[in-house]
Amino acid sequence: MGINFGSYDQSIVFGNFGTTSDGYGGSTVAWTPVLTTFARIMQVSGGNRVEALQMTLPRTFRIGVQWRSTFQPDESMQILYRGAYHKINSVELMEERMTKEYVITMIRVGNADNPNFNETT
Protein backbone atom coordinates (compact mmCIF):
# COMPACT_ATOMS: atom_id res chain seq x y z
CA MET A 1 0.00 0.00 0.00
CA GLY A 2 1.62 3.25 -1.13
CA ILE A 3 1.17 6.80 0.04
CA ASN A 4 -2.05 8.50 -1.06
CA PHE A 5 -0.67 11.80 -2.34
CA GLY A 6 -4.18 13.31 -2.45
CA SER A 7 -4.26 13.19 1.34
CA TYR A 8 -1.64 15.96 1.58
CA ASP A 9 -4.25 18.68 1.97
CA GLN A 10 -3.03 20.79 4.92
CA SER A 11 -0.76 23.75 4.17
CA ILE A 12 2.16 24.16 6.60
CA VAL A 13 5.28 26.33 6.81
CA PHE A 14 8.57 25.18 8.32
CA GLY A 15 10.67 27.96 9.80
CA ASN A 16 12.72 29.35 12.64
CA PHE A 17 12.58 32.26 15.02
CA GLY A 18 15.67 34.42 15.13
CA THR A 19 16.76 37.90 16.07
CA THR A 20 17.07 40.67 13.51
CA SER A 21 18.19 44.25 13.82
CA ASP A 22 15.40 46.73 14.38
CA GLY A 23 17.42 49.54 12.76
CA TYR A 24 17.73 51.47 16.03
CA GLY A 25 20.56 49.54 17.68
CA GLY A 26 18.31 46.87 19.13
CA SER A 27 16.88 43.64 17.90
CA THR A 28 13.53 41.95 17.48
CA VAL A 29 12.45 38.33 17.22
CA ALA A 30 11.28 37.46 13.72
CA TRP A 31 9.86 34.38 12.02
CA THR A 32 11.91 33.18 9.03
CA PRO A 33 10.09 30.75 6.73
CA VAL A 34 12.20 27.92 5.31
CA LEU A 35 9.71 25.81 3.33
CA THR A 36 6.00 25.95 2.54
CA THR A 37 4.49 22.58 1.68
CA PHE A 38 1.48 20.33 2.17
CA ALA A 39 1.06 17.75 4.92
CA ARG A 40 -1.47 15.16 5.97
CA ILE A 41 -2.90 14.55 9.42
CA MET A 42 -2.00 11.04 10.51
CA GLN A 43 -3.70 8.47 12.67
CA VAL A 44 -2.31 8.03 16.15
CA SER A 45 -1.66 4.66 17.80
CA GLY A 46 -4.60 2.46 18.72
CA GLY A 47 -6.59 3.42 15.62
CA ASN A 48 -7.81 6.71 17.11
CA ARG A 49 -7.74 9.78 14.92
CA VAL A 50 -5.68 12.77 15.95
CA GLU A 51 -8.93 14.61 16.68
CA ALA A 52 -9.67 12.10 19.47
CA LEU A 53 -6.19 12.65 20.90
CA GLN A 54 -6.80 16.39 20.79
CA MET A 55 -9.67 16.02 23.24
CA THR A 56 -7.11 15.15 25.92
CA LEU A 57 -4.02 16.78 24.40
CA PRO A 58 -5.45 19.63 22.30
CA ARG A 59 -2.08 20.99 21.23
CA THR A 60 -0.56 17.76 19.81
CA PHE A 61 -0.56 16.81 16.12
CA ARG A 62 1.03 14.01 14.11
CA ILE A 63 1.55 14.82 10.44
CA GLY A 64 3.12 13.30 7.35
CA VAL A 65 5.22 15.33 4.90
CA GLN A 66 6.62 14.06 1.62
CA TRP A 67 10.37 13.46 1.64
CA ARG A 68 12.56 15.64 -0.57
CA SER A 69 16.31 15.51 -1.06
CA THR A 70 16.76 19.26 -0.52
CA PHE A 71 15.08 19.52 2.88
CA GLN A 72 15.28 17.69 6.18
CA PRO A 73 13.10 18.83 9.09
CA ASP A 74 14.50 18.62 12.62
CA GLU A 75 13.64 19.52 16.20
CA SER A 76 15.27 22.96 15.93
CA MET A 77 12.50 24.13 13.57
CA GLN A 78 8.93 25.13 14.19
CA ILE A 79 5.86 24.66 12.01
CA LEU A 80 3.21 27.26 11.29
CA TYR A 81 -0.09 25.37 10.92
CA ARG A 82 -3.64 26.75 11.08
CA GLY A 83 -2.56 30.09 12.51
CA ALA A 84 -0.40 28.67 15.32
CA TYR A 85 3.26 27.84 15.85
CA HIS A 86 4.16 24.24 16.71
CA LYS A 87 7.42 22.91 18.17
CA ILE A 88 8.67 19.76 16.46
CA ASN A 89 8.86 17.03 19.08
CA SER A 90 10.11 14.19 16.84
CA VAL A 91 10.89 13.45 13.19
CA GLU A 92 10.94 9.97 11.67
CA LEU A 93 11.70 9.03 8.07
CA MET A 94 9.38 6.24 6.88
CA GLU A 95 9.95 4.29 3.68
CA GLU A 96 7.28 2.28 1.91
CA ARG A 97 7.65 0.81 -1.59
CA MET A 98 9.99 3.40 -3.02
CA THR A 99 8.20 6.32 -1.38
CA LYS A 100 9.54 8.24 1.61
CA GLU A 101 7.71 10.40 4.10
CA TYR A 102 8.65 12.31 7.23
CA VAL A 103 6.35 11.58 10.16
CA ILE A 104 6.42 14.53 12.55
CA THR A 105 4.95 14.91 16.02
CA MET A 106 4.44 18.57 16.88
CA ILE A 107 3.05 20.47 19.85
CA ARG A 108 1.35 23.86 19.68
CA VAL A 109 3.36 26.54 21.46
CA GLY A 110 1.92 29.88 20.32
CA ASN A 111 -0.47 31.83 18.14
CA ALA A 112 0.66 33.39 14.86
CA ASP A 113 -1.06 36.68 15.71
CA ASN A 114 0.97 36.86 18.95
CA PRO A 115 4.33 35.06 18.47
CA ASN A 116 5.48 36.01 21.98
CA PHE A 117 2.56 34.03 23.45
CA ASN A 118 3.69 30.62 24.71
CA GLU A 119 0.99 28.18 25.82
CA THR A 120 3.51 25.90 27.55
CA THR A 121 4.49 28.41 30.22
Domains parsed from the chain with CATH numbers? 5-111 (2.40.10.270)
Note the pLDDT of residue 58. 60
Tens digits of per-residue pLDDT, 7-45?
899 999 999 999 888 889 999 989 999 999 999 987 555
Query: Which residues, other chains included, contact 95 with Cβ-Cβ below 8 Å and sequence gap of 6+?
Result: none
Instruction: Give the single-character DSSP code of 96.
Output: E
Per-chain mean pLDDT for the chain: 81
57: confidence class by pLDDT, cuts 50, 70, 90: low
**Kind and range of the H or E run holding 92:** strand 84-96
Q: Which residue has the higher pLDDT, 1 or 83?
A: 83
pLDDT at 120: 43
Kindly compute the dihedral angle of the four CA atoms of residues 85, 9, 63, 2, in this order, to the nearest 10 degrees.
Answer: -160
Provide the 3-class DSSP secondary structure of residue 56: helix
Between 120 and 105, the more confident residue is 105
Q: What is the pTM of this model?
A: 0.75
The DSSP element (H or E) to which 32 belongs, if any, is: strand 27-41
